[in-house]
């Protein structure tokens, strides 16, 4: 009797395992993504309208996992947003662009660049996505689900260039200089230009960075940084 029960248990586990390999389900038992194969190419598409193609070694090594917490299967993590705003020139707008990319969300890197109307990159800052997650999640999101982290990052990227983050002028006349968070020659150079445009952003928990273009030195200056 015990032996028969063991065989039945093994058969059940094998059946469940096989089904888990072919269909990833969420906590309600619904399929989270569908897949189609054509020759040596497999396409995986999930509920978030994210589609990945797997070929060659990626196709051979592709493993399915059923994770009721994450519910999302991805080969790479990628987010992007851009806008145009006057910054280095009073007449033409520069392109502000933020790109989030990495093999997995935990290892993704954020690149923030500004390119002028002549196609010259005048500013670049790079920082880890994990630092951004630390703003709201303990342990940089170690205990949060993928969807929780992904939803937060999408909102963060969408709001990175919101109107309030552009300051005109970059430094108001009544604002006081704080030596602890700024280099005096940078502060004075930007404060002396009433037409300067500042941009403020945060790249880690509790941090604030402010930049502006110094037309005399023809370069972007970080005139305030709090971390």
pLDDT in the model for residue 32: 52
The share of the chain scoring above pLDDT 70, in percent, equals: 67
Average pLDDT of the chain? 78
- Averaged over 70-74, what is the pLDDT? 42
Q: Which residues contact 142 (CB under 8 A, 6 or more apart)?
A: none
Question: Strand pairing partners for 48?
Answer: none
Q: Which long-range contacts (CB under 8 A, 24 or more apart) does 184-191 make?
A: 186/214, 186/221, 186/222, 186/223, 187/223, 187/224, 189/214, 189/216, 189/217, 189/221, 189/223, 190/214, 190/221, 190/223
Q: What tens digit of pLDDT does each residue of 199-217 get?
A: 999 999 889 999 999 999 9
Query: Is the pLDDT reported for residue 75 higher than 70?
Result: no
E strand segments, the chain: 33-38, 41-46, 51-54, 77-86, 93-102, 109-115, 121-128, 166-167, 198-201, 208-214, 219-226
């Amino acid at each position: 009797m015990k032996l028969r029960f063991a065989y039945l248990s093994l058969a059940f586990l094998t059946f469940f395992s096989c089904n888990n390999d072919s269909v990833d389900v969420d906590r309600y038992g619904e399929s989270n993504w569908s897949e189609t194969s054509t020759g040596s190419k497999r396409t995986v598409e999930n509920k978030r309208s994210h589609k990945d193609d797997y070929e060659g070694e990626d196709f051979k090594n592709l493993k399915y996992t059923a994770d009721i917490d994450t519910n999302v299967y991805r080969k790479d993590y990628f987010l992007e947003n851009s806008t145009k705003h006057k910054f280095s020139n009073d007449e033409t707008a520069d392109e502000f662009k933020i790109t989030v990319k990495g093999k997995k969300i935990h290892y993704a890197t954020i690149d923030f660049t500004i390119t002028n109307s002549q196609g010259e990159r005048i500013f670049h800052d790079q920082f880890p996505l994990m630092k951004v997650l630390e703003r709201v999640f303990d342990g940089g999101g170690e205990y949060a689900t993928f969807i929780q982290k992904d939803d937060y990052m999408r909102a963060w990227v969408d709001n990175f260039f919101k109107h309030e983050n552009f300051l005109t002028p970059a430094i108001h006349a009544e604002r006081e200089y704080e030596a602890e968070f700024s280099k005096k020659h940078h502060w004075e150079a930007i404060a002396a230009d009433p037409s300067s445009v500042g941009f403020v952003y945060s790249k880690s928990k509790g941090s604030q960075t402010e930049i502006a273009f110094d037309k005399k030195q023809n370069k972007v200056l970080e005139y305030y940084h709090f971390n």
